[in-house]
Structure 1
């Protein structure tokens, strides 16, 4: 066993056999913001065999306060988070196989990546995506660790298909605040607390110590000194459309997947188009419109009072409006 993981292997619940198991496992990380970047670093330092990262966004200045893998240069160059994370993680542990995807997490984009995944970690920032994850994990019988944080509050729960209540069951039984980091802010320790719970559960699952898994929903408020665990066993429902006796996986239906959406609290609209774009051609065409920035993954242009960002997978972010109608108008003005 490599000396690199000696201190982790000395921990009896892991040991050398557990460390070997960690090195053979594949984790899918959905989202590479605050929770995602911290989870990714923890997994890579722990010696995970393979890590796949999915994130649709690029590094912005406000990310640097809490998203630990990114630098000012990543922000200046508008590097996609998944790509910036992969570069930094490779510097931390070059033995880990890391795949980075600059895509939106949808049913059609996620399902092809699940073939040999042992565990999924939720690091998303919206429940639309989480419900898709929830249905997919139930369908493919893959365990996943839910995590959420805002302000000084956070929560985490480990979901095991066929055993525990799923996310749909939990949310039907537990009121969830609609606050976001963009509307009420967040402090860095909140992120670390959620990640600590997610990482501990991830390690238990990776070394296959299921008896040690936390079976309760954890909620906390660091600023107001509150910590609570809640038994969710009774929330599991036989009629649940995701984990019940006759699942129908509602959120995997095309009509339930957003094509155009307002990104909560960000004064931004995302438009999703199945048609991939030529960034080179688009950048040249937009030079007559406004100031253009381009890298291998996206093209952005300053247009009137808006910043419009085009991704290679066909997604477009229109910053500066919460109006879908306005965003569509701008999109068609620039793309025809």
Structure 2
């Protein structure tokens, strides 16, 4: 322990006692894109004993500008992000227990992902999933580090059930005006800073430095040289999550199995059960322009111009369209109702 973490242990607020607390801790990172890769890098290098991470997507060339754990070989192989991340992180610190999970984070999967975790780190790129994490964390009493990055702007806060308001208290609406990394872009330095804010609050919490925890939402614009802190204050009266304990994002009656991934020209469809990729390769090859596969996914180039990406857990990406009706038509044509 002394050699690897010596410089971190020389930092008095952590020290040897704090390092042992990190080794005994478990964190879950949801989303292994730009924020998630930086978060995972920090947690693994810091020696957090158990790092679980989940993501539904695979590595594409456009990710390489800011998603620090991936390289061109991951793109060529079509690796799921968590698989590529695990390969890199296992070479960084073999003492850390890594748990890479290829899945869509939904109301049906979120409880299992959070089971046994001390802290959840937000690496997502949409507010629907953030509200799901917020509600699930506050129901379970697990702290949640929020982070967001788009364009040259970033924001971050740590939300602790019983101590701070929840995400819904200061961001009540999921309407972002269509501004995402895929519509207005993002520069990599803002990602690093947001994730570093999240990571340092995570370390404070895990080592028990509650007096040093930041009780504010930080927002900044690197390009315009602006910085602002807003005190979290009191919870919003009538908040459906942290006050009324209703947790609306966990209401299964409002879940849709069809999701348009904003700015990606991709619609995600979820079927009724797992998919045998080898079987589907045989079924789809005669009708496809090209079929490529690895152990984690199957990519099918369609004669209509779109692409299907099949995952073993039953998910199918219809790529090349934002039109949900069009995606459903292609899904029904090739996969079935």
TM-score between the two structures when normalised by the length of structure 1: 0.97
Partner of 2:72: 72
Give the CA deviation at 1:170: 1.1
- Give SS of 1:288's match: helix
Matched, 1:215 2:215: yes
Instruction: Please report the RMSD computed on the Cα atoms of aligned residues, expressed in angstroms.
Output: 1.4
Matched, 1:95 2:111: no
Partner of 2:285: 287
Partner of 1:22: 22
Gaps of 5+ in 1: none
Distance 1:133 1:24 in 2: 23
Distance 1:48 1:164 in 2: 24
In structure 2, relative to structure 1, the CA distance for the partners of 1:255 and 1:227 (3 Å cut) is same
Distance 1:116 1:9 in 2: 26
Give the CA deviation at 1:175: 8.5
Over residues 33-82 of structure 1, what are the superposed CA-to-partner deviations in whole Å (9 max), with x where a residue is unaligned? 00001100110000010010100000001001100101101101110000
Residues 122 and 146 in structure 2, CA contact (< 8 A), matched pair in contact too: yes
Distance 1:289 1:175 in 2: 40
Give the CA deviation at 1:196: 1.2
Residues 274 and 313 in structure 1, CA contact (< 8 A), matched pair in contact too: no
Matched, 1:242 2:226: no
Residues 26 and 49 in structure 2, CA contact (< 8 A), matched pair in contact too: yes
Distance 1:249 1:207 in 2: 29
In structure 2, relative to structure 1, the CA distance for the partners of 1:325 and 1:174 (3 Å cut) is closer
- Give SS of 1:101's match: strand
Give the CA deviation at 1:9: 0.3
Partner of 1:172: 172
Distance 2:296 2:150 in 1: 29
Residues 107 and 252 in structure 1, CA contact (< 8 A), matched pair in contact too: yes
- Structure 1's consecutive aligned runs of 4 or more residues displaced over 6 angstroms after TM superposition are none
Residues 30 and 121 in structure 2, CA contact (< 8 A), matched pair in contact too: yes
Partner of 2:154: 154
Partner of 1:278: 276
Residues 128 and 174 in structure 2, CA contact (< 8 A), matched pair in contact too: no
In structure 2, relative to structure 1, the CA distance for the partners of 1:218 and 1:176 (3 Å cut) is farther
Gaps of 5+ in 2: none
Q: How many matched pairs?
A: 334
- Give SS of 2:156's match: strand
Partner of 1:186: 186
Distance 2:157 2:99 in 1: 26
Q: More deviation in 170-179 or 130-139? A: 170-179
Give the CA deviation at 1:178: 3.6
Distance 1:117 1:178 in 2: 32
Partner of 2:250: 252
- Give SS of 2:44's match: helix
Partner of 1:297: 296
Give the CA deviation at 1:176: 5.1
Distance 2:121 2:102 in 1: 17
- Give SS of 2:63's match: helix
